[in-house]
Amino acid sequence: MAIINNYVKSLNDINSLQVDEPRLPKSKSYLKIIGIPFFPHANSQGRLTLNDIETILKQNHIFDNISLASKPRVIKVSPKSDMSIIWLDIWDVQSSSNAKMLINRCFNVGNYIVMIRGANMNPGIPQYKNCWKWGHATFSCRIQGTRCVKCNGPHKSEHHREFSLCCKANDKINPP
């Protein structure tokens, strides 16, 4: 890395002040922290905030060389639970050595022992493929049957031309 750094800064046609330090290619790794209470303060109803998470990550030495790729996300485990899951996207080398170092590690947060698990990429807000609405799961969908993604009619998208009035073929025009 030092050789590459010296070479780039010695070139005449490049402003050396605008060149970042060379580093290995990075990729994202996805982790989740389980076992943290959603309401961290026992006497208050205040939920877990991003500031609380940043404080937790700064206080634990296992996160010293870890840089976040995006803001952590906090999700309540279930509506009736008082526990949360924290989703972390971290910058990692392509071999995922930082993630491998963190996965299955435990650490203390107050009186709780929390664990870091590996996770798949979190795409964000889910869209249910039956009714095409955002933000709810299959079991909470109240719509009976399927909906068309093109016209929101009570048929599947592959049968849109057959059942939808907006695209149904007219026999009287040429070509039908």
Q: Last residue of some domain: 87, 118, 149?
A: 118
Q: Last residue of some domain: 70, 90, 118?
A: 118
pLDDT digits 0-9 by tens, 31-40: 999 988 887 6
148 burial class (0-12, 13-18, 19+ CB within 10 angstroms)? middle
Instruction: Take residue 130 and report the two structure tokens written for it.
Output: 């039956």
Q: Is residue 16 part of a domain?
A: no
Please give the residue range of the domain that contains residue 51.
24-118
CB burial readout 50-79, b (16+ within 10 A) else e: eebbeebbeeeeebeebeeeeebbbeeeee
Q: Last residue of some domain: 79, 97, 118?
A: 118
pLDDT range class, residue 67, cuts 50, 70, 90: confident
Instruction: Take residue 31 and report the two structure tokens written for it.
Output: 């982790």
In DSSP terms, 29 is beta-bridged to 90
> pTM of the predicted model, to two decimals?
0.57
